[in-house]
Structure 1
């Protein structure tokens, strides 16, 4: 179960750390644009890439064990890079999340847009395939780790669907947004240290 909870913690910290993909998801969900469709597409893409990354890295671990430490160090650098971005946003501040009211769109159009955002973003592959994959290969049970990371995705995007109106009020405040980024930077640094000690 330790692998399962590690998957939840790392998966959630990466998903919640705001990047181009999640800014789009947040803004779309908070403006009411087919929130359920966006959540389902993002969960499906996350789960697919997480499973691919974890089990591909586990095969690499079995076939070429000397490569795993280098993947792990790459994962540490990615975590620190994302943490640095969150920390800089927290220090500099911003005007909060900008939400534009969106007109109702056909759910198929929304689904295609969500697929493009999920699968054409290089950071998604770094986070799920490389980072989660390399860490998952180090776990006693990679399958439980992958399951935990998938649960984190379901929790995050499910929460966006359910609580989008309240999040809109919460994250429109620059001060709250800076606190949010500070928490994310702290979690990511902690996970980078944990990953480094496992290498």
Structure 2
């Protein structure tokens, strides 16, 4: 394993997932609620690992060669984000998440994973960043395997920290107003990403 390629992959991988996005907001929310956190973290990390491996293996060239594929992903991802953002805004206006989390039934593991995987795989930015960009940069290294492992490690570290570290915010989110602010922020993030996709 080449240390230079590993740390280059780690640094680039971390920088690409550090910004708050649809997937990160969902992981944060699940961590605060302490609902299916390990499953969500594993789903995100494994999805990233598959996408990174595909990018390093050259899948990015396929996406570039088939413009219609990226167009389908762009429009489908935007539609999903608009709907998810609307649901988050509805929750912000209702403001009952804190009470519902304490007294109502939590979403099942399958429901939670379905949302998590949709947020991950229906987001065209994931393919552009993880597959195309990481794949292009990895091509500059002789040891692409070390580069890929570094990027995968960054993903595991980030999602684990976000998912399990979010519980430290639990005292803040005992108040309904904090949930209103979080859900409104999630809605804005979802809609801003959807707008950027629709506007190209």
Output the TM-score relative to the length of structure 1.
0.60
Name the residue aligned to 1:52: 54
Q: Structure 1 pair 138/109, CA: closer, same or farther in 2 (3 Å)?
A: same
**Displacement of 1:12 after TM fit?**
0.9
- Runs (4+) of structure 1 moved beyond 2 Å? 98-103, 167-170
Distance 1:100 1:12, change over 3 A: farther
Q: What is the Cα deviation at residue 21 of structure 1?
A: 2.1
Q: Which residue of 2 aligns with 1:156?
A: 158
In 2, distance between residues paired with 1:160 and 1:99?
A: 23
SS at match of 1:33: coil
How far 1:169 sits from its partner (Å)?
6.8
The residue correspondences of 1:69-88 to structure 2 (distance < 5 A) are: none
* Cα deviation, residue 23, structure 1: 1.6
**Structure 1, residues 103-157: CA drift from partner, whole Å, max 9, x if none?**
5221121111111111001111111001111111112311100000000111111
* Contact residue 31 and residue 164 of structure 2 kept, 8 A: no
1:33-112 matched pairs, under 5 angstroms: 33-56=35-58, 100-101=97-98, 102=101, 103-112=105-114
The answer to whether the 8 A contact 1:41-1:114 is kept is yes
Hey, what's the Cα distance between the residues in 2 that align with 1:127 and 1:168? 31
Which is worse superposed, 24-33 or 128-137?
A: 24-33
User: Structure 1's 145 and 57: CA in aligned 2 closer, same or farther, altered over 3 A?
Assistant: farther
Q: 2:153 & 2:10 partners in 1: Cα distance?
A: 6
* Aligned 8 A contact 1:30 1:99 in 2: no
Question: Do 1:41 and 1:111's aligned partners in 2 also have CA atoms closer than 8 Å?
Answer: yes
Which residue does 1:133 correspond to in 2? 135
Task: Give 1:28's match in structure 2, choosing from 22, 27, 30.
Answer: 30
CA contact (8 A) 2:28 2:163 kept: no
CA contact (8 A) 1:55 1:137 kept: no
Larger-gyration structure (1/2): 2
Partner of 1:124: 126
RMSD: 2.8
Match of 2:168 in 1: 166
**TM-score, scaled to structure 2:** 0.60
Distance in 1 between residues matched to 2:44 and 2:168, nearest whole Å: 21
Cα 1:158–1:30 shift into 2, 3 Å: same
Structure 1 residue matching 2:58: 3-state secondary structure: helix
